[in-house]
């Protein structure tokens, strides 16, 4: 773990490493080694938003009770439960990882990510408060208590983080970094696809706008951890393990398919077990490509959900998975000149 203040530390860029560096603890942001972190800082600050600015959730409340099928209502609540867990655990876990990152510019964007995860948690609370009946809220928050598949999913990712917290070895740290990458890049996305599918049918439009903002944030979070993994591979090849990445990706894909088939099944128009499997495997191949790795499912080369590209084009929310770039719509003012040196 980093010292809070190390008078013997060296803040020179030439001595800086992503982890295991010996810095003073000073946030010297006038000298940057990882230019990708500077770029992401500008995007993430420019992406500022709060759920109170998203209008129309009362319309969603009327539609939830009047227009959604029982299957769509069940999926809506179950997917929210999983997303709430993911962002809750991220908010708590990210500072533990930051304790071992020795690049001030990377620590800065991890702090912004932590803030954004808390905004996501607030957003889900706002959705629940507005859309669903008060007696159902605890059921959604604690859906994992009665759903064995969701509980198993939550335990898997939670245990990886807990293992790192209790025993911060090099391997456990690397597994925690990979788990963050998988959480941000795989675990959210069938849920996002469900909300986008509702929007494509002109249902739950305000919820869809909130999810679009959250997804936009998550794209930057994916990019953070993809870059961190690449830097570890470059600077600490003994810690880096392609075998661990591929093993954990395989587990993540299997769990995501199992959970999505369970909560969505073949009951949602436009989504079924086959499209769920193909979409998850397609995502996995794209995420591995971000790390410069071969696909885990070479037979899957296309996204079965063509409407997702159309919706994301309309929102201005597009990502280039291979290069890790994100082009966004923003609510904040221009960032020109920020952190400019």
Mean pLDDT for all residues in the chain:
89
Active site residue 142: no
User: How far apart (Å, rounded) are the C-alpha atoms in residues 155 and 253?
Assistant: 16
**What pLDDT score does 313 carry?**
52
**What pLDDT score does 26 carry?**
85
**What pLDDT score does 340 carry?**
41
Task: Tell me the domains of the chain and their CATH numbers.
Answer: 37-327 (1.10.620.20)
User: How far apart (Å, rounded) are the C-alpha atoms in residues 8 and 24?
Assistant: 7
Report phi then psi at 320, rounded to 5. Answer: -105, 105
Contact 171, 115 (CB under 8 A): no
Annotated active-site residue in 124, 187, 213, 279: 124
**What pLDDT score does 312 carry?**
62
In DSSP terms, which residues pair with 319 in a beta bridge? Answer: 326
**pLDDT beneath 50: ranges in the chain:** 314-341
Q: 306 exposed, middle or buried (CB, 10 Å; 0-12, 13-18, 19+)?
A: exposed
**What pLDDT score does 308 carry?**
78
């Amino acid at each position: 773990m980093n010292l809070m203040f190390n008078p013997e530390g060296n803040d020179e860029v030439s001595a800086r490493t992503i982890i295991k560096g010996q810095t003073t603890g000073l946030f010297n942001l006038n000298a940057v080694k990882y230019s990708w972190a500077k770029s992401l800082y500008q995007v993430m600050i420019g992406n500022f938003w709060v759920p109170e600015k998203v209008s129309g959730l009362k319309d969603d409340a009327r539609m939830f009770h009047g227009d959604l099928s029982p299957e769509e209502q069940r999926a809506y609540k179950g997917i929210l439960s999983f997303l709430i867990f993911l962002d809750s655990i991220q908010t708590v876990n990210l500072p533990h990882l930051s304790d071992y990152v020795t690049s001030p510019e990377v620590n800065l964007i991890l702090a912004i990510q932590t803030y954004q995860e808390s905004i996501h948690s607030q957003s889900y609370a706002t959705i629940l408060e507005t859309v669903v009946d008060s007696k159902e809220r605890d059921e959604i928050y604690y859906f994992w208590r009665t759903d064995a598949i969701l509980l198993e999913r939550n335990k898997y990712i939670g245990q990886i983080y807990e293992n790192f917290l209790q025993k911060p070895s090099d391997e456990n740290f690397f597994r925690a970094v990979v788990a963050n990458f998988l959480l941000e890049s795989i675990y959210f996305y069938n849920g996002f696809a469900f909300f986008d599918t509702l929007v494509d049918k002109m249902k739950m439009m305000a919820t869809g706008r909130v999810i679009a903002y959250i997804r936009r944030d998550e794209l930057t979070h994916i990019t953070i951890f993809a870059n961190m993994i690449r830097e570890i591979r470059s600077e600490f090849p003994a810690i880096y393990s392609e075998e661990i990445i591929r093993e954990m990706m395989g587990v993540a894909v299997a769990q995501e398919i199992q959970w999505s088939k369970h909560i969505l099944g073949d009951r949602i128009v436009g989504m079924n077990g086959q499209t769920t499997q193909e979409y998850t495997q397609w995502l996995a191949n794209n995420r591995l490509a971000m790390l410069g790795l071969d696909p885990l499912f070479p037979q899957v080369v296309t996204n079965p959900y063509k409407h997702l590209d159309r919706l994301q084009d309309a929102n201005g929310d597009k990502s280039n998975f291979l290069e890790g770039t994100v082009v966004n719509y923003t609510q904040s003012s221009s960032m020109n000149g920020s952190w400019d040196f």
